[in-house]
């Protein structure tokens, strides 16, 4: 008999699901047996997204029964109780008992956690974090989030909120963030904020600039773009260096669109982080390996770590 794990990723506007045979998980680069990605329609709610995801799962399983289901959710989750706290993108997600609903639907054990924690677990079990016991995963994208593996297991904090490196402050005189503080890592290093700053400095409409464009302009030597991108890399580097001083992880794994900003960006992040960390605190900073599939592989990792063990 083949043991199957169903992995689901509620990604805001995209829903992804995949099935993997547990027998292949020991391989260096395991592959999905089947995989589906669909856009959540306009006007989607928690209810319609859940129904669509369950339908995708059933299609992928084609009548077979999985041994467990792992779920990544793009928003805060009460991991202990398997309850989604809310979504910043889709209405109706307040206090949804997602774990119980999937356990009811599939009649197997289910675990749910937020996407940053789950992606950290994915990179640790199947990607750039393999082989270390203490790791910080950071995604630098439309926001800046993080997840920890400490002493060889996921660390979530007292109420599941650990990993918020994006809202650590690295420059109290820096620009104002929506969170109300100045100079948090997310305000300096995330794509939309960098785009906003470049647009403002160059007198362009905000909607014409993206984080990707900032990186392209910087690569061409456009001064404002270079300055803003380098400030972002510096801010992220200080945040990582501070985290390294606090936790002494062996590895930092960086994922998300902004990490595609080129060699110079990486160099600055590395230099800054190592300059901020004490000389005795050694670590390496490496690119994530799993790309968009990190939450799905992490959902598999969630099952392996928390259910099968």
> Is residue 275 close enough to count as binding a second copy by CB under 8 A?
yes
> Is residue 175 close enough to count as binding a second copy by CB under 8 A?
no
Of the candidate residues 53, 77, 165, 229, the single one contacting a second copy (CB under 8 A) = 165
Strand pairing class (83-84; 34-39): unpaired
Q: Tell me which residue has tokens 């859940």.
A: 50
Total residues interacting with a second copy, rule: CB under 8 A = 46
Rounded CA-CA distance 195/85 in Å is: 30
Rounded CA-CA distance 276/254 in Å is: 18
Of the candidate residues 100, 150, 200, 307, the single one contacting a second copy (CB under 8 A) = 150
Rounded CA-CA distance 272/185 in Å is: 13
> Is residue 241 close enough to count as binding a second copy by CB under 8 A?
yes
Instruction: Say what the alpha-carbon torsion angle 154, 157, 159, 160 is, to the nearest 10 degrees.
Output: -40
CB of 210 to a second copy, least distance (A): 26
Nearer to a second copy, 169 or 303 (CB): 169
> Is residue 242 close enough to count as binding a second copy by CB under 8 A?
yes
> Is residue 80 close enough to count as binding a second copy by CB under 8 A?
no
> Is residue 111 close enough to count as binding a second copy by CB under 8 A?
no
Q: Which two tokens stand for residue 204?
A: 């362009």
> Is residue 87 close enough to count as binding a second copy by CB under 8 A?
no
> Is residue 286 close enough to count as binding a second copy by CB under 8 A?
no
CB of 275 to a second copy, least distance (A): 7
> Is residue 177 close enough to count as binding a second copy by CB under 8 A?
no
CB of 219 to a second copy, least distance (A): 26
Number of neighbours of residue 112 by Cβ within 10 angstroms: 28
Specify the stretch interacting with a second copy by CB under 8 A; choose among 38-46, 114-122, 149-157, 252-260. Answer: 149-157
> Is residue 133 close enough to count as binding a second copy by CB under 8 A?
yes
> Is residue 168 close enough to count as binding a second copy by CB under 8 A?
yes
> Is residue 83 close enough to count as binding a second copy by CB under 8 A?
no
Rounded to 5°, the CA angle 173-178-183 comes to: 25
> Is residue 95 close enough to count as binding a second copy by CB under 8 A?
no
CB of 272 to a second copy, least distance (A): 10
Of the candidate residues 12, 57, 122, 146, the single one contacting a second copy (CB under 8 A) = 146
Could you tell me if 120 and 128 are in contact, meaning their C-beta atoms sit under 8 angstroms apart?
no
Residues 190-229, interacting with a second copy (CB under 8 A):
none
Could you tell me if 305 and 154 are in contact, meaning their C-beta atoms sit under 8 angstroms apart?
yes
Rounded CA-CA distance 210/123 in Å is: 27
Strand pairing class (4-10; 14-21): antiparallel
- What Rg value do the Cα atoms of the chain yield, rounded? 20
Strand-pair partners of 21: 4
Cα–Cα nearest to 146, from 10, 272, 256, 296? 256
Q: Which residues bind a second copy (CB under 8 A)?
A: 76, 132-134, 146, 148, 150-151, 153, 155-165, 167-173, 179, 181, 238, 241-243, 245-250, 275-276, 278, 280-283
């Amino acid at each position: 008999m083949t043991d199957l794990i169903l992995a689901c990723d509620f990604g805001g506007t995209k829903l992804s699901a995949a099935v993997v045979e547990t027998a292949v998980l020991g391989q260096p680069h395991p592959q999905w047996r089947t995989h589906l990605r669909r856009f959540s329609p306009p006007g989607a709610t928690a209810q319609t997204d859940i129904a669509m995801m369950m339908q995708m799962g059933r299609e992928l399983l084609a009548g077979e029964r999985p041994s467990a289901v792992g779920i990544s959710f793009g928003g805060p989750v009460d991991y202990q109780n398997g309850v989604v706290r809310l979504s910043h993108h889709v209405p109706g997600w307040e206090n949804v008992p997602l774990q119980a609903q999937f356990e009811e639907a599939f009649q197997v054990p289910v675990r749910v956690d937020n996407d940053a924690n789950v992606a950290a677990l994915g990179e640790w079990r199947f990607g750039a974090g393999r082989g270390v016991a203490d790791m910080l995963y950071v995604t630098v994208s439309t926001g800046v989030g993080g997840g920890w593996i400490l002493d060889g297991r996921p660390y979530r904090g007292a109420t599941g909120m650990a990993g918020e490196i994006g809202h650590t402050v690295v420059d109290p005189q820096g620009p104002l963030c929506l969170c109300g503080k100045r100079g948090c890592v997310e305000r300096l290093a995330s794509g939309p904020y960098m785009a906003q700053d470049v647009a403002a400095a160059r007198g362009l409409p905000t909607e014409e600039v993206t984080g990707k464009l900032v990186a392209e302009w910087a690569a061409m030597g456009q001064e404002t773009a270079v300055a803003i991108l380098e400030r972002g890399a510096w801010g992220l580097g200080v945040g990582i260096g501070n985290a390294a001083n606090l936790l002494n992880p062996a590895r930092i794994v960086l994922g998300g669109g902004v990490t595609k900003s080129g060699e110079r960006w990486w160099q600055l992040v590395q230099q800054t982080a190592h300059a901020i960390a004490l000389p005795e605190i050694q670590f390496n900073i490496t690119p994530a390996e799993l790309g968009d599939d990190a939450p799905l592989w992490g959902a598999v990792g969630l099952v392996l770590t928390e259910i099968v063990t």
